[in-house]
Structure 1
Amino acid sequence: MAWAGAATADELRDVLAQAGALPEAENLRAPETGLVMVRGRIGGDGRAFNAGEATVTRAAVRLPGGEIGFAYHLGRDRARARLAAILDAHWQRPEARPALAAALAEIAGRRADAAQQAARKAAATRVTFFTLARGED
């Protein structure tokens, strides 16, 4: 489901279409946007502090079969949050999981290829520094 969280609204639409999961759902909580406080810790173990606010969109839906799905996303894309909630609800149906997993695997593959391409591009510009004499002798 992590890939569903990283997917765009168009990718989520494609996943639902490929899996034959109809995007018809009743809104339990219509997509809404708000702010959350992001907290941090220096070094991971220091005292917590407020780092700032982040925009979050959430949605909750119910399928005609009674399955309920929830989604929270950073950002303001309401369609993306609703589609992710629909995907979450369909994921709860055991008969829908294989088709959804196969469609999500395609997204995972595309994202992995893009990450590898970015890593290769960064590696091509890598500079390695070394010294011949350090002055410790």
Structure 2
Amino acid sequence: MTVLAHSVLSEIAEHLRAISLPAYENLREPENGLVMLRGRIGGDGAPFNLGEATVSRAAVRLASGEIGFGYALGRNLEKAKLIALCDALLQSQEFAATLEEKVAAPLRLRLLGRRQRRAGQAAATKVDFYTMVRGEATS
């Protein structure tokens, strides 16, 4: 699910087109809402409310009965719906392996490539700071 959440809508849709999708219905029409973000000072301090973030959510049911839920950060209703559909398909014995092979694996590789490219760009701007000793004359 992390792979889907970090992927772009067009990429998810493109890979899903390679699968003959079963019939499904919306249990919850895609909608936008808010979630409270929690934080901790230093990672181990007392939790506090950091702020709110907009999310889109959806729920679908396959004709075979599997129910999937999808959440996407931001206001992207279609992405939340496709994530919910993928969640339901992953629960189906008929579609789980196909979804992993034709959707999740290619998206995972694409995300890994993006991360490596960003890491390379960040490494290219790395600056090593060191202290230089002034050349003072000794007598």
Aligned to 2:89: 90
Relative to the length of structure 1, the TM-score reads 0.87
Deviations 1:77-104 (A, max 9, x none): 0000001101111111122122211221
Alignment-mate amino acid for residue 67 of structure 1: E
Aligned to 1:11: 11
Deviation, 1:129, is: 1.5
Alignment-mate amino acid for residue 29 of structure 1: R
Which portions of structure 1, spanning 4 or more consecutive aligned residues, are displaced by more than 6 angstroms?
A: none
Deviation, 1:127, is: 0.9
Q: Give the Cα–Cα distance (whole angstroms) in 2 for the partners of residues 19 and 12 of structure 1.
A: 12
Contact 1:59 1:70 in 2 (8 A): yes
Q: Give the Cα–Cα distance (whole angstroms) in 1 for the partners of residues 81 and 33 of structure 2.
A: 15
Deviation, 1:62, is: 0.6
Deviation, 1:21, is: 2.5
- Aligned to 2:17, the other structure's residue is in SS state helix
Moved more, 112-121 or 84-93: 112-121
Contact 1:30 1:59 in 2 (8 A): yes
Aligned to 1:63: 62
| Structure 1 alignment gaps of length 5 or more | none
Aligned to 1:112: 112
- Aligned to 2:130, the other structure's residue is in SS state coil
Contact 1:25 1:61 in 2 (8 A): yes
Moved more, 61-70 or 92-101: 92-101
Aligned to 1:128: 128
- Aligned to 1:18, the other structure's residue is in SS state coil
| Higher gyration radius (CA) | 2
Alignment-mate amino acid for residue 12 of structure 1: I
Q: Give the Cα–Cα distance (whole angstroms) in 2 for the partners of residues 44 and 88 of structure 1.
A: 30
Q: Give the Cα–Cα distance (whole angstroms) in 2 for the partners of residues 118 and 47 of structure 1.
A: 33
Give the total of aligned pairs: 133
